[in-house]
Amino acid sequence: MNETARWRAEVFVSLRPGVNDPQGLAVRDGLRRLGYEEVEDVRVGRYVQVWLRAPDVETAERCVAAMCEQLLANPVVEHYRFSIEPA
């Protein structure tokens, strides 16, 4: 049986520039109403943690990238980045 390590991935998903962000606009307007008039723009994204088993970090990275492409992000309108560390 192959030894596998446990990894934790932190995935950050954000909208691509130029894509409308209604949630960001609502947050910006809310901050301005609270008196933070210096706020010019807000973009809202997602943060996802994933724990997985893989024999090495390269395999874990390939797996998480595939997860992002297939489910965690919509590559048409979103960017993603992730980091992986031993769990």
Domain map of the chain by residue range? 5-18+45-86
pTM of the model: 0.88
The answer to whether residue 81 scores a pLDDT higher than 80 is: yes
Q: Is the pLDDT of residue 1 over 60?
A: no
Is 5-18+45-86 CATH 3.40.50.2300? no
Q: What's the average model confidence in pLDDT over 17-31?
A: 97
Cα end-to-end distance, the chain, whole Å: 20
Q: Dihedral of CA 61/62/67/69: which sign?
A: positive
**Mean pLDDT for all residues in the chain:** 96
Strand order in the sheet with 78-86: 46-54, 5-15, 78-86
Q: Compute the half-sphere exposure of residue 80: CA atoms within 13 Å on the CB side of its CA.
A: 24
The pLDDT-based confidence of 2 (bands split at 50, 70, 90) is low
Q: What pairs with residue 15 in β-bridges?
A: 78
Phi-psi domain of 50 (left: phi exceeds 0; alpha: psi -120 through 50; beta: other): beta
Averaged over 2-14, what is the pLDDT?
A: 93
How confident is the model at residue 79, as a pLDDT? Answer: 97
Q: Is the pLDDT of residue 3 over 90?
A: no
